[in-house]
Structure 1
């Protein structure tokens, strides 16, 4: 399926939600942490909130940030921003310390809406030079309440275009701090059509999600796609291993979205007679960095079809490349573009590599506004990734003679832990400030759950002894907990290439952990 603005049913999110409210009104659309919204609720409350945001001085192009766990407010704020041409920026609740402070400065929001847990981290991190109005979804001292932002007035009439940025998603990068990916209104419409097409969505489906609203996968798969196709969706606060299948059954879900190591944890649970007591028919293949047996065991045990996918926030979210439900899949691949993008594998000189050869994955859209508008506040980084008019993903892979993609892995400075992208440079830049560290390199090493564990190789200053437990405790105050190294290994020197004197990260990744201090093992001994 190919979609152009001239033949798409909807071009913007307001057009979509208003149509669904008129068509399905009182039908249940979304349940987010036990708060239910009908299609009419979504349309009316987002309009009321849009009017209220305008009364607060928010105008087209302004940013409204949220810093909270899954909550109905995130969806309503996002859709309200879409109505008035403003931009929503849902921030990762794992941010704290330096990376939270950086992100707040970078996003430059006019308003910030938090929950009580994130308010405490905000108080600790926010610098004096950030001046903005802060509201909370729960009673918090010195904060306005989210409910105060709704207005009885009609929202202003603002013309929004398909290509207008409506959301900024912060994601890990290969260098520096997190980058804000600016995404258009039509980006989400295209993503919903693509995911619905991939899974053969129908109005009788129900989606159960444990993903967070600050990730594009939850936004596209669990929010916009169900609204487009007219089926219900339930989003819980967090992934709970002990309650997962009971929640799936309680929601009568037909679509689920475990991600990364969640698959491993579900498979490792003791077998149960209830393993197939559900009506789930499909999930997505967010399994690329897991041991192959995990995916096979999941399908065999739970009887759920996995749609193989490859995608990313910058290039269109979920399933830019996929194998549609019902199509014969080529084992070991992630699928093919299905007309949604052009795909090319290139070498270091930007030359296409032969069929079957591993190289850098580059893509370009075949549908307008279906990929990022650019990086927020960072046009140079946008240009750096857009070489020869092809978007460079930073991933490695190969294609066969028919264009089926096989994802191989990420470039050296990327790692992925518990479904979160992490920049090695970012963690290194923070750890380097710890007293006594002369040099530090961070790499991803294999995790027993799949994906990566964070490992820091540290060269101390001469004569300095560093306590790894004190170092990681310090790190927890300066970065998101999922970025804090599990393994710490002290070395006298770091391997460097003869040609460029660059750190040979591939050698460090293969070093093993026999000589490393293990934070998880230390915590277990302490307990």
Structure 2
């Protein structure tokens, strides 16, 4: 297919002698693609779940070179930003790796963006070329386009106002030509991607990530349990680190992926079996959805050998036994590089794991003073490897300076650590609830509430109390076909959580409101507060007394 494409000689320079920096062939996308196409040409890199098509490493290299030539012919050069607004699909995978093959920066954006949020990320991204699905083009016509000048449309032909428009099949699948080499070698510390955060409390921030950042995120230091023989199911969207990041780290290993467009509970196990995946990430409520399906005789008859669940499932032993998998968990976010990793089938309930080698972690108060073991503090981080975490927020120096103050990256997450080094996520700092002098973790409330069989997902928030501080409210979405009885939920929670954590208010919704990045919009739920359809435990006459042996400073009572 690409036999008529000629590549100019790639420039060479000596590698760095810093032992903390791996060689280019271990980190840089262009070098990795060439390396595996030479060393393991017939090994499968990707299995597409929709039609069982596969690409070997040789085919991957041919496809990426072809699309890189197309990008170059419409003006993409080393260091340029390529805006990509596509669902999970072959074209997205091609443009991702082809952009990096040229030394350009891959900038995927959420397919749910529209209006002012879309205008913000387009303006922030500083891209002149965008690759967009035809179904999304009309949204471009409604917003300012920043520096965008050219548009490549995937799907049925559709032009955008104010942009020179190309069809994907014409522009990015050339049959012949000369691919110019970048002016200099692509280095491990060069920018690889800009990934936008969800922006729950303000405009989305673009996380600038180097190759070394994404490599460190799931490289041998942090994901040592994943090997070159594994196949990883990729079903998170590519505008998330869980999508594009997993693709990259399996490329680093010379391993393989199965590529799905999304997670669906009903067909999850069929997809795993058909694509022969051995590893998968179950994020948020995915693991809960699988647990709440009716048990089947063939639950353990699957090729998975390990599952990452974030957060950790409530009953690790039961999940592991039912599906015959090893369970791991981690703490991570787009800006950092998996600083906390669990061992196999962790027994400490609710843990995120322990600090891995190569990273420093501190729990601090509002003045960056370290708190004692067992007390709650904000997690701040730095790595031994240069460029091992984010390179700042693109075009946002104020947010970068605030996050990186005192030479440490501030996560905005509250944690505690026990005497054995197990870390426990407590809450986002902005989501903490304070009731009658007690600090309550919304995360821990949600973990216990979602153990109730009828509940699909939950959001715990604080709402103003007539006695001062907060009362606990939970907003719930039911499992399909189920009905949530608030009184039954309270009875269920009595033996599971401290009396002061048990919700006073229960609100049931068909679905919880989400950001474009599928995070629950707690800000909206707080603004709506106690609505007319909210159930009030106290008005129902259900009083929760404190355990007389509980180590708490609060008085007995509701």
TM class, shorter-chain normalised?
0.7 to 0.9
1:343–1:362 Cα contact (<8 Å) kept: yes
Tell me, yes or no, if structure 1 residue 260 matches structure 2 residue 276: no
Residues 237-316 of structure 1 mapped to structure 2, 5 A cutoff = 237-287=261-311, 292-293=314-315, 295=316, 297-316=318-337
CA deviations on 1:383-414 (whole Å, 9 max, x unpaired) are 10012111000101012335332111212169
Structure-1-length-normalised TM-score: 0.76
Q: Match for 1:230 among 254, 265, 275?
A: 254
Shift in CA distance, 163/37, structure 1 to aligned 2, threshold 3 Å: same
Residue 449 of structure 1 is matched in structure 2 by 456
- For 1:149, the equivalent position in structure 2 comes to 172
Point out which structure has higher relative CO (alpha carbons under 8 A, 6+ apart).
1
The structure whose Rg is larger is: 2
Within 1, Cα distance between the matches of 2:119 and 2:148?
A: 13
2:270 alignment partner, SS class: helix
Q: Which residue of 2 aligns with 1:108?
A: 126
**Residues 1:186 and 2:205 aligned together:** no
Alignment of 1:352-501 (within 5 A): 352-412=370-430, 448-450=455-457, 452=459
8 Å CA contact 2:311–2:352 kept in 1: the answer is: no
Mapped to 1, the partners of 2:138 and 2:317 lie a distance apart of 42
Task: List gaps (5 residues or longer) in structure 2.
Answer: 1-17, 160-164, 434-447, 465-508, 537-558
2:430 match: secondary structure = coil
Residues 1:91 and 1:453: Cα distance change in structure 2 (over 3 Å):
farther
SS at match of 1:412: helix
Q: Which runs of 5+ in 1 are unaligned?
A: 416-444, 458-471, 492-507, 516-527
Distance 1:256 1:481 in 2: 19
Instruction: Give the Cα–Cα distance (whole angstroms) in 2 for the partners of residues 226 and 94 of structure 1.
Output: 27
- Report the equivalent of 2:101: 83
Q: Distance in 2 between matches of 1:455 and 1:25?
A: 56
Secondary structure of 2:360's counterpart equals strand
Secondary structure, aligned partner of 1:157 = coil
Distance in 2 (CA, whole Å) between partners of 1:322 and 1:271 is 29
1:16 to 32, 38, 41: 32
Q: Deviations over 1:294-335 (max 9, x none)?
A: x5543342222211211111012xx33102448x76444212
Supply the distance in 1 between the matched residues of 2:295 and 2:418 (Cα, whole angstroms). Answer: 37
Greater mean deviation of Cα atoms: 446-455 or 142-151: 446-455
CA displacement at 1:482 relative to structure 2 = 6.5
Partners of 1:220 and 1:3 lie apart in 2 by 24
Contact 2:29 2:100 in 1 (8 A): yes
User: Measured at CA, do residues 480 and 20 of structure 1 come closer, stay the same or move farther in structure 2, by a change above 3 Å?
Assistant: closer
1:41 and 2:65 are equivalent in the alignment: no
Asked if the contact 2:85–2:111 (Cα under 8 Å) also holds between the matched residues in 1, the reply is yes
- Give, in whole Å, the separation in 1 of the partners of 2:201 and 2:405: 17
CA gap of 1:99–1:301, structure 2 versus 1, over 3 A, is same
* C-alpha distance 287-313 of structure 1, shift in aligned 2 (>3 A): same
Q: Deviation string for 1:201-233 (max 9, x for gaps)?
A: 242x22223211111122232x12322333321
In the alignment, is residue 208 of structure 1 matched against residue 233 of structure 2?
Answer: yes
Cα RMSD after superposing both structures: 3.6
Note closer, same or farther for the CA distance 1:344–1:188 as it changes in structure 2 (3 Å cut): same
Q: After superposition, give the CA deviation of every residue in 1:103-144 in whole Å (9 maximum; x if it has no partner).
A: 122212221112233334434x43366642111221222242
Q: Structure 1 residues 344-353 or 73-82, which shifts more?
A: 73-82
Q: Deviations over 1:64-117 (max 9, x none)?
A: 011111012222222222222211111111222221222122212221112233
User: 1 CA distance for matches of 2:261 and 2:430?
Assistant: 32
Match of 1:62 in 2: 80
